[in-house]
Amino acid sequence: MTNRNKYSGVWPVMLTPFTDDGEIDWVSLERLIDWYIAAGVSGLFANCQSSEMFFLSQKESVALTRFVLEKTTGRVPVVASGHTANAESQQIEQLHEIAETGVDSVILISNRLAPQSASDAVVLEKIAALTEKVPGDFGLGIYECPYPYKRLLSDEVVKWCAESGRYTFIKDTCCDIDIIRRRLALAEGSGLNIANANTQTLLASLRAGASGYSGVMANFHPELYVWLCANHAAEPEKADVLARYLTTASLIENVDYPISAKDFQRRLGNFASAAARVREAGPFLRSQLYDVVDQMIALGEDVARGVGVKETAA
């Protein structure tokens, strides 16, 4: 049942490195791209929430997406969003400009489709309208972004997307394996891929037929997620052990992310700065943050060696 196409596997939600002056650091971004690809990821999700898209201008969003495409040409496919506006006319403009960069799929943000108080029927009407107004031979997708509020997709929306022939990618943040299984059943036989963003339900979702992983923890140890997505069926016992570690490690998401990930990338030598636009570093002391992240990574390496996942990685 698993979809074996370009949308399978691990799709990191990309960070955007900034200089201490708040400008995009293109040199650091190129190093980050190379780091992801060296880990074996299947593709990249650019211009998303982890990229701080709500804090980028439209010009920056397009430039960021074009840069990622330029640096990944011939290596991995790219999807991108930047769908942040409220007014439909601005949304259409944003989606067209991202589509014109040449990405494989343009990703809509579910909470931009209707106000929080609106019904699922309104969301479906909006998706149908936007789809009609953004024609082309590129794919479309939807991301259940939790900011500024989380709008989960109804079964009717997932079914419509699967049957439309245009939708290739849902970044699923429901964190509920029963909902994921329903969505997989609705998408079966179509070109719609379900990429789980939630580590706690990831292994169960892969076993149910999910295409892969697209979450923030691929900014810390993508190679472990690559192994899990590629080998969970062939080596189920090792997958169980690794998934238990990854589930525990993913709690770091709640500690000053994305600054925690940017600090980690800085200490790897990929980023020159841990600066972010979304917020300043929180109350968690940097020395403690270093210790927590470093120990999380070291334990992951121990677990990987202990079950031999490094040697059998695809």
For residue range 42-81, list pLDDT tens digits in order.
999 999 999 999 999 999 999 999 999 999 999 999 999 9
pLDDT-based confidence at residue 289 (cuts at 50, 70, 90): confident
Q: What would the CATH number be for the domain defined by 9-307? A: 3.20.20.70
Collapse the DSSP code of 191 into the 3-class scheme (helix H, G, I; strand E, B; otherwise coil) and give the result. Answer: coil
Alpha carbon 208 to its chain's center: 20
Instruction: For the beta carbon of residue 136, count every other beta carbon within 10 angstroms.
Output: 12
pLDDT tens profile 128-169: 999 999 999 999 999 999 999 999 999 999 999 999 999 999
Query: Does residue 185 surpass a pLDDT of 70?
Result: yes
For the annotated catalytic residues, the residue numbers are 143, 171
> 158, exposed or middle or buried, with CB in 10 Å at 0-12, 13-18, 19+?
buried
Q: Which residue has the higher pLDDT, 181 or 285?
A: 181
| 70 CB-near residues (< 8 Å, 6+ apart) | none
**Residue 170 amino acid letter:** I
How far apart, in whole angstroms, are the C-alpha atoms of residue 132 and residue 129?
5
DSSP string of 28-62, one letter each residue: HHHHHHHHHHHTT-S-EEESSTTTTGGGS-HHHHH
Strands in 105-109's sheet, in edge-to-edge order, are 9-10, 212-213, 193-196, 167-172, 139-143, 105-109, 78-80, 44-46
- The answer to whether 53 touches 309, Cβ cutoff 8 Å, is no
